[in-house]
Amino acid sequence: MIQPFTPEPIRFVAEDGMPVQPLPERYTPEVLRDLHRLMLQAREFDRKLITLLRQGRTTFYAQSSGMEATQVGLARSIRVGHDWVWPYYRDHTLGLAMGVPMSELISQCLGTNSDSCRGRQMPHHFAAQRQNFVSISSSIASQVPPAAGNAMAQKYLGVDEITVCTFGDGATSEGDWHAGMNMAGAAQAPALFICENNQWAISTSIREQTASETIHIKAKAYGMPGYYVDGNDIIAVMEVCGYAAEQVRSGQGPALVECLTYRVGSHSNADADAEKHYRTREEVDAWLARDPITRLENLLAHLGHPVTAEERAAMIAQTHREVDEQVLAAEATGQPDWRIMFEDVYADLPDHLRQQEAFLRAEQTGGRA
């Protein structure tokens, strides 16, 4: 039985791979290996996209390395394509694990003609229609009030769906976060709020962020249960998020889950050298020793189904190949024509946009408008 408001994060597996409580039967070696494959794929996806950044082929990326157990575990706790997800900008691993094709993610990062937004969103801010994965916004916590509204609509319509809303620890200081949490609680709406607490909001540490002891205790103020989970233990994430999702689905009102994890890389490419400026190498090393992928590998070894070095290398090579292929395929579709900037919003273009379009046309034709 999963309990809210525990003083310590709920965990099932220790860093060395030893279970600290009995593992539910559904975690067969095949299931665990599939989770491992998804986590390793996400880690290598980060590596490849950072290379693309350095090559100047995309201009923004926020890696999720270190947070794979939280995002893959969440993806496996909800009904994909049925529930609605209001994500934040670090959630590409959540998207990949929900089945968003790599080709879509890469096209969006490159802003090519194969991108469904055709370059009109910030890179790495994708949306996925088939997965009910709502378009990502960079404005911290701006997804929380509309997610609460989405859940209120689901309750009003009586549909068998829930709303999942993710955010970082920093988001919990925004007014939007409190407004959304309050609204969902007051309406007893079917919303599952997930805090991916990676303990930093760029250079602001969690200790500077809030005087609350933890994030999950804030749930009490909004009349909902708050769960605290070890976000680097994928089984714990699936057990807690799965339990909370079913409580929400059964009409118990909203819930908050705090996944305690760590971003081992930089915040984004706008923050290249975190260890030099605001956190210590020792802190990062301590969290690298709690790596979620290594923990799952340790568990598989303990269960007698180790991932061999050859299998690991083959999985890494497969992801690198897949990314390379998808990058070439996306680039082959070409860059969108500049004119599409003015399409798909207004049926009749307002005057100021007409003027801007004329200005750009003149630029493109060297003054021959």
Ligand X SMILES: Cc1ncc(C[n+]2csc(CCOP(=O)(O)OP(=O)(O)O)c2C)c(N)n1
The residue (of 132 and 198) whose beta carbon lies closer to ligand X is 198
Encoding tokens for residue 149? 């509204």
The residue (of 283 and 311) whose beta carbon lies closer to ligand X is 283
Encoding tokens for residue 290? 């709690």
Candidate list 21, 28, 51, 139; residue touching ligand X; CB under 6 A:
139
Minimum distance from residue 176 beta carbon to ligand X (Å)? 8
Establish if 212 lies at the interface with ligand X (CB under 6 A).
no
Establish if 90 lies at the interface with ligand X (CB under 6 A).
yes
Establish if 69 lies at the interface with ligand X (CB under 6 A).
no
Side-chain-side CA neighbours of residue 185 (13 Å): 18
| Other beta carbons less than 10 A from residue 344's beta carbon | 9
| Other beta carbons less than 10 A from residue 333's beta carbon | 14
Candidate list 191, 201, 215, 236; residue touching ligand X; CB under 6 A:
201
CB 264 within 8 A of CB 66: yes
Supply the DSSP string of 173-216, one letter for each residue: GSHHHHHHHHHHHHHT--EEEEEEE-SEETTEEHHHH-SSS-SG
Phi (first) and psi of residue 260, to 5 degrees: -85, 115
For ligand X (CB under 6 A), the number of binding residues is: 15
Minimum distance from residue 1 beta carbon to ligand X (Å)? 30
Chain position whose Cβ is nearest to ligand X:
168
User: Which does residue 139 touch among ligand X, Mg ion, none (CB within 5 to 8 A, set by kind)?
Assistant: ligand X
Establish if 170 lies at the interface with ligand X (CB under 6 A).
yes
Nearby residues of 74 by Cβ (< 8 Å), 6 or more positions away: 94, 164, 166, 194, 237, 241, 259
Supply the DSSP string of 262-281, one letter for each residue: ---S-SSTT---HHHHTS-H
Candidate list 44, 83, 104, 169; residue touching ligand X; CB under 6 A:
169
Dihedral over Cα of 6, 9, 12, 17: its sign: negative
The residue (of 150 and 197) whose beta carbon lies closer to Mg ion is 197
Could you list the residues that contact Mg ion (CB under 5 A)? 168-169, 198, 201
Establish if 303 lies at the interface with ligand X (CB under 6 A).
no
Q: Which of residues 322-341 bind ligand X (CB under 6 A)?
A: none
Minimum distance from residue 269 beta carbon to ligand X (Å)? 12
Establish if 198 lies at the interface with ligand X (CB under 6 A).
yes
Minimum distance from residue 229 beta carbon to ligand X (Å)? 17
Establish if 193 lies at the interface with ligand X (CB under 6 A).
no
Encoding tokens for residue 368? 């021959």
Binding mask 248-277 for ligand X (x = CB under 6 A): ---------------x---x----------
CB 71 within 8 A of CB 150: no
Residues found near ligand X in the complex (CB under 6 A)? 90, 138-140, 167-171, 198, 200-202, 263, 267
